[in-house]
Homo-oligomer: A and B are copies of this chain.
């Protein structure tokens, strides 16, 4: 695909800006119907889209069909969120002459869309975090026109997906696609663009975050960057079920050839752990091609660097350099070398750090950078469990208890986001229904007549509201 020219970007952003009031002005049921229409058409186009995805990403058919199902489920879930209307956080304060700090006027607050949004698509989920993925679905649901910067890893799939989306959306300018880094930057820094979302590397995401923050009018940049997703295995858990833990870990770190942002990349295990012995003997899956040449090169470089580290030894590996590998080090080495040992190595590998006493788990938990997830493999009566949970809650966006982080359910309570560098906006999530909150901002109306209020703020509204501080159902 040819890169989008600066002139084309200008036209595309202008079209998105023109579309913004129309799309925002369509009622919630209408936007919900449009999202469902996109989902229906994507489902119907599966036999066309999946083969392109296989060709461009090296991911297998079952995985890609599953991912497409996740994508259309997500669109339909946001349609449900729209109809329900709780995301508007509608609040009504009736006028109150006796309000203790002085007479209170009639004040009503709802949330409105930011305006045009740029979505930087990810490589590793060509459906669910790409053209019609979660960022697009939540921004469209919020009422924002979307400009997707296609990922170069699957350009044809991006074009084909965009055609399907646009066949379902009748308003011009609501959904558009651009190609090329320069086009992405031009869109991100355009004055008419009001927010951006990104899934990718720390380096790339930080560069874009810096551009978004340095604009004359800074805009929110929701970047999901990198995470090692540490796993903390207690002595008791290792003793009781080290072998089973090893099996679960292998399944998780090799899933999708380790190319998940939630891949467990670092495991804390007791010295001489059963887990480690079981990993040494484990039947690792065969090598699989990675998504693209750039990711392959980065993975091989990362492996080389780790294996050259004086405190790292190889526990398990295959003949092929892309075969899954298990490496090991010590907690002491881990804590000493933040740069070298605590970073993400995107691909089918895991680093196990052995500790000599469980108190070191707390030390590591407190020393790690921000994470998308952190996992406890522990028993309820483990003395360290409570303190470890408390520390990890300050480090990660999602904590798991004796489960693996690679499955990220799309639901109401999901949280996919954490302190930097896991994301650039740890107060938000890119998965789950709360993802829509990223693309709306509050507006209050003081003393307005019914006829000029947004529908959800009038009497007889159909959304949940907080009235004079008390939550009410419609």
User: Which positions in A face B, CB cutoff 8 Å?
Assistant: 21, 25, 66, 69-70, 73-74, 80, 84, 86, 89, 91-93, 99-102, 104-105, 107-109, 112, 114-115, 209-210, 213-214, 217-218, 220, 369-370, 380, 385-386, 389-390, 393-394, 396-403, 407, 409-415, 417, 419-421, 424-429, 433-434, 440-449, 451-452, 464, 466, 468-469, 471, 473
List the B side residues contacting A100 at CB < 8 Å: 73
Q: How far is the CA of A93 from the CA of B398 in the complex (A)?
A: 14
Asked if B218 contacts A213 (CB within 8 A), the reply is yes
Asked if B473 contacts A390 (CB within 8 A), the reply is no
Asked if B415 contacts A109 (CB within 8 A), the reply is yes
Best-buried of A369, A419, A443 by chain B (most CB within 10 Å): A443
Q: How far is the CA of A380 from the CA of B448 in the complex (A)?
A: 9
Copies in the complex: 2
Q: How far is the CA of A301 from the CA of B407 in the complex (A)?
A: 61
Asked if A393 contacts B451 (CB within 8 A), the reply is no
Asked if B218 contacts A409 (CB within 8 A), the reply is no
Asked if B421 contacts A217 (CB within 8 A), the reply is yes
Q: Which residue of B lies closest to A76 (CB)?
A: B100
Asked if A447 contacts B385 (CB within 8 A), the reply is no
Q: How far is the CA of A369 from the CA of B191 in the complex (A)?
A: 11
List the B side residues contacting A91 at CB < 8 Å: 412-413, 434
List the B side residues contacting A214 at CB < 8 Å: 210, 213
Asked if A452 contacts B386 (CB within 8 A), the reply is yes
- Give chain B nearest CB distance to A2 CB in angstroms: 34
List the B side residues contacting A449 at CB < 8 Å: 380, 401
Q: Which residue of B lies closest to A206 (CB)?
A: B218
Q: How far is the CA of A114 from the CA of B425 in the complex (A)?
A: 12
Q: A380-B451, A420-B217, A466-B86 are in contact. Are A393 and B107 (CB under 8 A)?
A: no
- Give chain B nearest CB distance to A338 CB in angstroms: 12
Q: Which residue of B lies closest to A468 (CB)?
A: B412
Asked if B466 contacts A412 (CB within 8 A), the reply is yes
